[in-house]
Amino acid sequence: MLNAYDWDTNTLEIKDKYKNHFILQLRGNRNIIKGESGTGKSFLNDFLYNAKHNRNINKRYNTDNLFILNMDNKSELDKIKGKLIIIDRADLILTDDDVETINQDHDNRYLLFAREPLGIELSPNHQADLITDKGITFLKYRFNVKGWC
């Protein structure tokens, strides 16, 4: 069974029978995917949620190290350990306390989808957009400046 998320390489890779293929190389422990409506942020979140719950996704992927955070399970944020936590519409569902929890968390990694700044402590090098080219969706980072962690 393949891991959808590889902790060692910090790569999320998953595809389905409909030829949706995502290869996301993450930087560090926190990444924000920005972009306007219709750029694929919620589609990717729903895709991963369905993969996690084995709905319409090839069952060859292990998703045990993913946690899809939403309003229904947000109270668990400070209890999660050793996961890639994925948060869609982060700018709408996270409170200041949640942002503080994320900023102090060294046990998890985060992939946040947002249109607005959140107060998450990270380098501008960790802000990306989803890009699809030749059937593969990947991250195009907005900045790549040496010296910015």
pLDDT at position 55 is 61
pLDDT at position 59 is 72
Give the pLDDT mean for 33-62.
Answer: 83
CA-wise closest residue to 132 among 51, 50, 45, 20:
20
CA-wise closest residue to 83 among 66, 104, 69:
66
In terms of DSSP H, where are the helices of 19-63?
41-52
Any idea which residue has 């709408």 for tokens? 92
Query: What is the tally of structural domains in the chain?
Result: 1
pTM higher than 0.85: yes
Six-digit token string for 38: 């219709």
**Cα–Cα distance measured from residue 3 to residue 11, given in angstroms and rounded to the nearest whole number:** 10
Give the pLDDT mean for 116-138.
Answer: 92
Q: Residue 115: inside a domain, yes or no? A: yes
Per residue in 49-79, pLDDT (tens digit) is: 988 887 656 578 899 999 999 999 999 999 9
pLDDT at position 35 is 79
Q: Residue 146: inside a domain, yes or no? A: no
Give the pLDDT mean for 16-41.
Answer: 90
Q: Residue 37: inside a domain, yes or no? A: yes
Q: Residue 147: inside a domain, yes or no? A: no
**Cα–Cα distance measured from residue 143 to residue 149, given in angstroms and rounded to the nearest whole number:** 11
What's the CATH code of the domain at 9? Answer: 3.40.50
Q: Residue 136: inside a domain, yes or no? A: yes
**Cα–Cα distance measured from residue 65 to residue 84, given in angstroms and rounded to the nearest whole number:** 6
**Domain hosting residue 53, numbered range:** 2-20+29-141
Q: Residue 119: inside a domain, yes or no? A: yes
Give the pLDDT mean for 114-139.
Answer: 92
Q: Residue 149: inside a domain, yes or no? A: no
